[in-house]
Structure 1
Amino acid sequence: MKQVPIGVSARHIHLSVEHIEQLFGTGYELNVMKDLSQPGQYAAVETVAVIGPKGKFDKVRILGPVRGKTQLEVSRSDAFVLGMNPPVRESGNIAGTPGITIVGPAGQIDIAEGVIVAGRHIHFHTDDASRWGIVDKQLLTVRVEGERSLIFERVLARVSDQYALDMHIDTDEANASGVKTGDMATILS
């Protein structure tokens, strides 16, 4: 049986160096609050506010380390609150996505693009992928068990020797299936 731990991903933002400095001050560096499931990734102590056409969220957690481009990841429910309709995309694929206003303690910026609903995916270390015959960008079918068990289709496999085995779904998907971080999923195909 191909079992994978689940990580539920709440709304969060990845910031570029330029945007960190505009929001927090020149030379500012993020502070680690806690490490995440993927090696080298962390939740920062710092948060920002994000303002959409119809609503806003205060205290959106920044995830580090810094990225080449700023990207806000929200659930579909979050998008409704903000008054937006961002596409479901793989992390990093932000071309043609909506922008948003971001507010930090030292400033405010408007990004022209960068808001996505992150597509469900599984991070595979190359060893795990090889053992199970899974290749990068493969679309998988995954079952979660429980009172509200369901099958997720079109789960993107992301394979790298820099990854640790973990399935990422957003809060809407977790709520619909009744799962929480640490629960297990089974890859069907």
Structure 2
Amino acid sequence: MSKQIPVGISNRHIHLSPDHLKQLFGEVHELTELKPLSQPGQFAAAESVTIVGPKGEIQKVRVLGPVRRETQIEISRTDAFKLGINPPVRDSGDTEGTPGLRVVGPQGEVELDKGVIIAARHIHFHTSDAESFGVQNGDKVKIKTQGERAVIFDHVLCRVHDNYALDCHLDTDEGNAAGLKTGDTVELIKD
């Protein structure tokens, strides 16, 4: 019997540090929740910024909240071509040795010397879901999509925590390649 996992297609976005939030939006600004995300406590904010690379820029990049210790920008490979940078595929938070960008907000701008990644595909598991699926934090699995563009994605990181909700995160390039949209499901394949 196969167990299905819901998919969330992750568009480009930015997580801001408290200092960068102030620089971009003003000294006393707090993020305004636009809509909740699949993970408890996480939200898409009403705020957006422009990111500027050596070859181009992308406007209206959504800020996600709440604020984080360090600013991090997650883009797709297609976005990277437009911007003229070559970020690595990394797990969230692993930004050492990554390229930076200029970030422009309504009240100022920030020149990042690092922080741009292409997020590694991953699945969030609540601890009870992880037990049910037979996976542990840090495991790598495969997932199989359905439909006329069905593919198998390899090297999918399992992230397990009591605060997570079951959800597979893929970027827009991966979603488009497989004909997936948020709310579709994938099947876990264990080696």
Unaligned runs of 5+ in 2: none
Q: How does 1:49-64 map to 2 (within 5 A)?
A: 49-64=50-65
State the partner residue of 1:126.
127
State the partner residue of 2:72.
71
Q: Please say if 1:110 is aligned against 2:108.
A: no
Give the residue type in structure 2 aligned to 1:6.
Answer: V
Alignment deviations for residues 25-48 of structure 1 (CA, whole Å, 9 cap, x no partner)? 112100000000000000000000
Alignment deviations for residues 130-177 of structure 1 (CA, whole Å, 9 cap, x no partner)? 122100010001000001000000000000001000000000000000
Alignment deviations for residues 109-148 of structure 1 (CA, whole Å, 9 cap, x no partner)? 1011000000000000000001221000100010000010
Q: How does 1:82-97 map to 2 (within 5 A)?
A: 82-97=83-98
Give the residue type in structure 2 aligned to 1:119.
Answer: A
State the partner residue of 2:33.
32
Q: Please say if 1:169 is aligned against 2:170.
A: yes
Unaligned runs of 5+ in 1: none
Deviation of the 1:2 alpha carbon: 2.0
Give the residue type in structure 2 aligned to 1:184.
Answer: T
State the partner residue of 2:19.
18
Q: Please say if 1:184 is aligned against 2:182.
A: no
- Looking at structure 2, the residues matched to 72 and 82 of structure 1 have their Cα atoms a distance apart, in angstroms, of 13
State the partner residue of 2:46.
45
What SS class does the counterpart of residue 174 from structure 1 fall into?
A: helix
- Looking at structure 2, the residues matched to 174 and 133 of structure 1 have their Cα atoms a distance apart, in angstroms, of 25
User: Would you identify which runs of 4 or more consecutive aligned residues in structure 1 move more than 6 Å?
Assistant: none
State the partner residue of 1:136.
137
Identity of aligned residues (%): 56
CA RMSD, 1 decimal = 0.5
State the partner residue of 2:9.
8
- Looking at structure 2, the residues matched to 183 and 133 of structure 1 have their Cα atoms a distance apart, in angstroms, of 22
- Looking at structure 2, the residues matched to 40 and 144 of structure 1 have their Cα atoms a distance apart, in angstroms, of 28
What SS class does the counterpart of residue 173 from structure 2 fall into?
A: helix
What SS class does the counterpart of residue 97 from structure 1 fall into?
A: coil
Deviation of the 1:3 alpha carbon: 1.0
Normalised to the residue count of structure 2, the TM-score between the two structures is 0.98
How many positions carry a matched residue from both structures? 189
- Looking at structure 2, the residues matched to 130 and 149 of structure 1 have their Cα atoms a distance apart, in angstroms, of 27
Give the residue type in structure 2 aligned to 1:146.
Answer: G
Alignment deviations for residues 41-64 of structure 1 (CA, whole Å, 9 cap, x no partner)? 000000000000101001100000
